[in-house]
Each structure stands twice: as structure tokens, then as C-alpha cells.
Structure 1
Amino acid sequence: MPTIDMPLEQLKTYEGRNPRPADFDAYWDRALDELRAVDPQVELIPSSFQTPQADCFDLYFTGVRGARIHAKYVRPRNVEGRHPAVLQFHGYTGNAGDWNEKLAYASLGFSVLALDCRGQGGYSEDVGGVRGTTHNGHIIRGLNDHPDNLLFRHIFLDTAQLAQIALALPEVDPDRVYAMGGSQGGALTIACAALEPRVKKLAPVFPFLCDYKRVWEMDLDKDAYGELRTFFRHFDPLHEKEDEIFEKLGYIDLQYLAERIRGEVLMFVGLMDTICPPSTQFAAYNKMTAPKQYVIYPDFGHEHLPGCGDRTMQFFLEK
């Protein structure tokens, strides 16, 4: 079997390299307390894009630290009673995507809520001192500050808040709220289901933001993880604070949040992935205690995985 990482048998037991902060649980409990204190001020604005089968809205809500967050909301028409909902999360620096991409799920009676991450390619606000996009560099945003100011902390909380908004919609069945996404979207799928454990099913695809030290040791702190190398080159060129930096990154390492998931997991992994190495993904998967299964693509990297979308849809349709 081809590999750029560990053999599959070793991946199945790999437990991760990045240090876990001693106060990790208290950190996220405190973060969730901050989220609970926020008035989301949800606003639904009909979009100019509409179809005969679904109503389309721009959904806005207020997240932690006062940021105004945007998502696309597609609600199926002519569906009796409460129906399922799927939360969609996009890749790094991207956005919620086109409206038409949500219609396959809407045609099956699902509501779809697709998040724009703060400061990336969509309309969500980043309140870090400037207006408009910051695009990337989000892993290291706040790394020279208090851990409570890490930007991905706030983005992870946005995913949980979107799930809470979906769970509270009168048309949505709270027992059938699901989450999906690839790369950063896979990471946010895990974060969402960890911080809002009422998410019943999740389908992360080659999740990002796992086991940062392993990425660095593999010399793969480039491409999507390139800002790790940039941070060291600018702020710690002799790696004198290496242990401290990786421990702080541990607060936003999905392998440790994965323990909180209660929903059923279907994860997709390409063994030739040099962007999000398989071992980093399995560091998170192996810590999940909820019902779980993985699908391996031996010859594929960080790219379209044939059949992945179909299998995810079937997974969400299963009773």
C-alpha cells in the first residue's frame, strides 16, 4: 500500500505528538461559558437567489468578541413537519460556496447552513483590529498573546454557535443535525461536534488543524501549514520557545477536542496526503470514543476523493 507517512497498521494506533496543555478542558469550558453569554441576534435576509424548491437566506449572527458572522441558509419548501439539517464548513481561506451546491441536500428535505469563516473568503467579520478579510495566517493569529485570543478559538466557537442556531430553528429536527466539510472544513466539522455534542453525525474529510508538531517534524510546515514555519522564522528563529509554542497550539489542536464528540463519525483519509498528513488525522480519529469508521483512499492525496460525497449523503440519509 502506498504511503508518505506511517503504515496503516501504525496509523490505527498513533496517539499524536503535539503536547496537550494541562488546563485544556478548563480552557474550552471557559470558552463555552463566553459563548453562552453572547446574544446571537440572528438575522435572516432573503437572498436574491431563489428556487422553486427551496428558500435561500443570508443568515447573520453575532459571535464571541462581537464579530458579525455570515452563513448561507437554504430551507426546503413543501416539507411536512421537522426535517434534518446539515452544517457545511469550507476549506482554508475559502467561503460558503455557491447556492446551487446546497440544493442536492435541500431536494432531499434537508436544511443547509454553510458558514463563512471569520476573515477568510466570505462575508464574516474579523474584529481583530481591521475591517475586511485577513484571508490566512489564522493558525498563528494570537500565538504571541494570551491563549484566549487565538483566532481559531473564536472560529471553533462560531461552528458551535451555528449548530445551536440550527438546533433552535422551529423547522429543524434537533435529533437530525449533521456536519460535514473537507480540510479546514473537516477540522471545523470535528470542532463543531465536539463543542456542540448534540450534532448526531459528522463526516470530516482529511481534517486540518491536527497534531502541529507532527507536521513540523515531517517537514510539512508548508502549503496550508506554512505559517508555522513563518512564525518560527520571524519570532523564534533559534526555536528557544519551541515547547511553549507547540503547547499553546495544543489549545486549538483538534485531536484533543475530538474526545468530546458524541455523534457518529465517518472520516475520509487519503494516504498520499502531504497537506494534512494521515498520521495527524489519525491522531484525532484515535481519540474519538463515539461510534466511528474511516474510509481509506490509498492512492489519493489532498484532492477530490471519488464517491466521498455520495457516501456522506447516504450516511446522513440512514435512519
Structure 2
Amino acid sequence: MALFDLPLSELRTYRSSATEPKGFDDFWSGTLAAARRAASPPRLTEVTTPLRGITTHDVTFTGYAGQPIRAWLNRPAGVTGPLPVAVEFIGYGGGRGLPIDWLVWASAGYAHLVMDTRGQGGSWRGGDTPDVDDSGAGPSTPGFLTRGVQSPDSFYYRRLFTDAARAVEVAAELPGVDASRLVVTGKSQGGALSLAAAGLVPDLVSAVVSGVPFLCDIRRAVTITDSNPFAEVVRFLRTNPQLAGPVLDTLDHVDVVHFAKRVTAPAIVSAGLMDEVCPPSGVFGAYNELSGDKQIEVYEWDGHDGGRTFFDTAALEFVARHLG
């Protein structure tokens, strides 16, 4: 690792040149409206774990097009009053794993809904939610970033962003939850989903935690890093150069820079200056679009680990200040 991106002094004022696609708001409002029309009530089943201080429920809710999405709901055992709720999204390739993987937010006094990631969970933590939609069939590079990428309608991340927004809507209606104190949180892909969800359903989100977010300033990112997942796009276009136009247009529809403009909640973000997976210019490109109370934690010597538990601690303190 090395410092390969813009110097910090330039990052602090950097503005992305990403152009918002025509009809962006209509595309996403229509997608969410269809998901809501197809929605069914969530199902919660209490599960037994060795964790004595935490109660866990296995949750199934409906995401994109009414398709089932799994989640865990952890909450402090024995607490009856309405709790603030944190909705967490997972990094690239991982799934929801086991309840014991998710102790921080419940330990801090929150109800904690952890959304499984459709079709993922085969890389570093297991998952339980298939991507049942086959509209993304067609050429793709191994991974998820080019799955259905020839059209915004068929793109994998259209489904995943919709799942994230629906997770927030479902969390706000869970029993024993104080919906006026709702946090979205995640790192990498999860950080991107946090900002996207906060931009899609801003009225429901009270605070945003976004660690080293993925999918920011995408057109720049694919040209300055050789690391996956952005390198998936390069490999795809190397073998399908005639598709560059529609592919880049599709990616514009999920560029987190555009969602950041719509976030109204206080937000804390982290950036690793040696991060070759999610380049710091992309992180700052999204962060600099945030209009509300915001804070960025910069880790000069970190790569994609982005502050590790130093950032987790700062995030919990930030959220506590804003939620009361």
C-alpha cells in the first residue's frame, strides 16, 4: 500500500465530476413504490443462542419486488422500553453469518437489525438469502458489480439498494423500537448501502455511519485502482468494449455521490488514505456532498480497514451525541 490518490489537502475540497442520470429520482421512487406494493409483513422468530445478555430473532422481510430477505435482530435482553435501532449492512461478499458476529450495537443499548445480502455470503461470512431475481442474466465478470450491468433495470445493485431502503422501513415498524432514533451503519459495501438508504428514505433516518464506503465516484474509481471489486468493471469492459456506454450509465444510477446529496441526517464517515479498494477521493467525493452535520475520520496509515475499532468507537460516540 502507498499514498496513491490525491493529497489530503485536495481531498478535503474535492468535488466529484459524476453526472446524475436523467430521471434518477423517478427511477428510484418507482422502484421503491413497486417494492412497497409487493411487500408482506415481516416474520420474526425468536432463536436460542448462548448469548445471555442479548435476545435474538430471525427476521424475514420483503425487499425488491417483494422478494424475501433474511436478517438478524439482536437487542439487549430484559429491556422492555422502546430502543433506538441500528440497521446494519454488510461488506462485499459477506452474509449475515451468526448472531454472535453482531454484538457491538446491542451491547451499546440498541436494537440491531442486520440485513443479509442477497446472493452473497460465499467469501468471508455465510449468508442465507438467495438472489431469486434472474433479470440480470447475461454476460458478467465473476463477482457482483457487473451482474445485469447492461441496464439499470436489471442491475444487481438496483435490487440491493432497494432491499436496504426496505430494511429501514421495516426496522422503523418493529415492536419495541423507537423509530425516531434510527441509525444506518455499515462498512465498504455496507457503507455505500448506509448512504444510499439514507438518501432513499431520508425522513426515517436519524444518523448515518458509513465506513470507507464503496461505489463512490465510480467512473474515477475504475480508472485509478486495480483492486476488486472495481477491477471487475475493467475486466468486463476489456472483453466487451462496445458496452462501455450502457455499463457506465448503469453504474451512474448507483453512484453514492448522488445519494449523498439527498441525505439529511447527521453522518460520520471514515476514509483510509491508503485504501486501494475504495479510493479516498471517492469517499471524500460523497462526503463533500453531505449537507447536514457531518464528521469524517481520516486514517493516514490505513487501507480498507478504515480505522477498525477506532472508527467504531468514534461512530458510537457520534451517534449517541445526535440521538440523545
Deviation per CA, 1:268-319, whole angstroms, max 9, x where unpaired?
A: 1111111110011111111111211101111111125241111112222222
The structural deviation recorded for 1:28 is: 1.4
Query: What count of residue pairs does the alignment treat as equivalent?
Result: 310
Look up the SS of the partner of 1:141 in the other structure.
coil
User: Which among 302, 309, 312 is matched to residue 312 of structure 2?
Assistant: 309
Letter in 1 for 2:320: L
Q: 1:135 to 1:265 in 2, by over 3 A?
A: farther
- Equivalent position of 1:25 in the other structure: 25
Report the CA distance between 1:221 and its aligned residue: 4.4
Gaps of 5+ in 2: 122-126
Q: Which residue of 2 aligns with 1:126?
A: 131
Aligned to 1:90: 90
Equivalence for 2:39: 39
Residue 54 of structure 2 corresponds to which residue in structure 1?
Answer: 54
| Aligned residue among 194, 199, 211 for 2:199 | 194
**Corresponding residue of 2:124:** none
State which drifts further: 24-33 or 182-191: 24-33
* DSSP-derived class of the 2:277 partner: coil
TM-score, reference length from structure 1: 0.90
Residue aligned with 1:78, SS: coil
Determine if the alignment matches structure 1 residue 65 to structure 2 residue 57: no
- Paired residue secondary structure (1:257): helix
Structure 2 partner of 1:103: 103
* Paired position in structure 1 for 2:179: 174
Counterparts of 1:1-319 in structure 2, within 5 Å, are: 3-121=3-121, 122-129=127-134, 137-144=143-150, 146-197=151-202, 198-218=204-224, 220-236=225-241, 240-303=242-305, 305-306=307-308, 307-318=310-321, 319=324
Residue 214 (structure 1) shift: 0.4
Does the aligned pair in 2 maintain the 1:222–1:229 contact within 8 Å? Answer: no
Give secondary structure in 2 for the equivalent of 1:139. coil
SS in 2 for 1:95: coil
Does the residue aligned with 2:247 lie in a helix, a strand or coil? helix
Contact 2:141 2:235 in 1 (8 A): no
User: SS where residue 207 of structure 1 aligns?
Assistant: coil
Post-superposition Cα deviations, 1:151-170, rounded to whole Å, max 9, x if no partner, equal 10110111111111110113
> How much has 1:70 moved relative to structure 2?
0.6
Gaps of 5+ in 1: none
Q: Rate the CA distance shift 1:120–1:135 in 2: closer, same or farther, 3 A.
A: farther
SS in 1 for 2:180: strand
What is the DSSP-based 3-state SS (H/G/I as helix, E as strand, rest coil) of the residue aligned with 1:252?
coil
Partner amino acid for 1:315? F
Identity fraction in percent: 33
1:28-73 CA-to-partner distances (Å, cap 9, x unmatched) read 1212222221223311122232533222111011222342111111
Q: State the distance in 1 between where 2:207 and 2:88 align.
A: 12
Q: What amino acid sits opposite 2:215 in the alignment?
A: L
Quick one: which amino acid aligns to residue 55 of structure 2? D
TM-score, normalisation: structure 2: 0.89
Contact 1:89 1:184 in 2 (8 A): yes
Deviation at 1:136, TM superposition (A): 6.1
CA RMSD of aligned residues (A): 2.1
Greater mean deviation of Cα atoms: 167-176 or 8-17: 8-17
CA contact (8 A) 1:47 1:58 kept: yes
Partners of 1:170 and 1:56 lie apart in 2 by 13
